[in-house]
Amino acid sequence: MPARPLLIGTRGSPLALWQARHVGSRLIAAHGLGEADVELSVITTSGDQIKGPLRDFGGKGLFTKEIDEALLSGDVDLAVHSMKDLPTVLPDNICIAAVLPRADTRDAFISTKAPSLGELPHGAVIGTSSLRRAAQVRRLRPDLRVIDFRGNVETRLRKLGEGLADATLLALAGLERLGLASHVTSILSTAEMLPAVAQGAIGIASRTDDPKTRALLEPLNDARSATAVACERAFLARLDGSCKTPIAGLAEIEDGMVSFRGMILTPDGTEWHEIGLTGAAEHARSIGTDAGEELLAQAGPEFLAKLG
């Protein structure tokens, strides 16, 4: 039994709390701990306080900065994140100690106006805060109007119910974790809507110089999920992906082989480039990096520059 409770740093949204409690329950089960041996420490991040589009304020690190600070100062022992929220470069002395088994990577279409994205009426309004989803929607349906739709899952569903948009897109994994899958109208295939890098994956961060906590987290790591996420994050890192860049990527592992598909788009969806690579799973990171290299060569040197 730990000398004091293990403190898990987390954001305070319903989804973040579900994920942190899930990690806590897995730690308890893995090590025969008592309920009192694991506690949550709810931390308000810069991203939680910003009302406008996050891409205007610095992007992904806004959801992790204050949690990183608490981890580095020893105020918490570990931190639970949606992996798709994490910057590709982590602060010194912070590492991803475990990735849980990945949930469904697909996006869900939610609407009372049509059964699918393709069947929305001409000029319908889609609400999303994701530049990736917006760009892919515009690529598939340039006749639709896309508006910014910020807030947690429940807030976005409420806005949809109030008629502020005709449809929205949300990660299926988050809806399932919150018990809200009944709201789903249809599920978009990854061929139709390529997911965000690391979508559906929960990561646990710890201090690199804290071997005791890293050892506690080791049994929670799912090697297959960690490998797929590493491939996707290497791709994103090579593209220097930010919240201002519509980038999508998905690695799937089967029989020791990784199949990766990546895409980069202009925000208006009028130009896009795709890449597909396969190789041995043990080379997952280099496959992701190579995919990024090839996509940059395909898109040309000016593609990312004009997105800045």
Beta-ladder partners of 186: 109
Catalytic site residue from 68, 77, 85, 107? 85
HSE toward the beta carbon, residue 308, CA cutoff 13 A: 8
DSSP H or E run through 247: strand 247-254
Residue length of the chain:
308
Beta-ladder partners of 206: 78, 95
Instruction: Answer for the pair 66, 48: CB distance below 8 angstroms, yes or no.
Output: no
CB contact set of 247 (below 8 Å; sequence gap of 6+): 132, 197, 236, 239, 241, 262, 263, 264, 265
Tell me, yes or no, if 85 is annotated catalytic: yes
CB atoms within 10 A of CB 252: 15
Distance CA 308, CA 84 (A): 21
Instruction: Answer for the pair 187, 65: CB distance below 8 angstroms, yes or no.
Output: no
Q: Which residues are catalytic?
A: 85
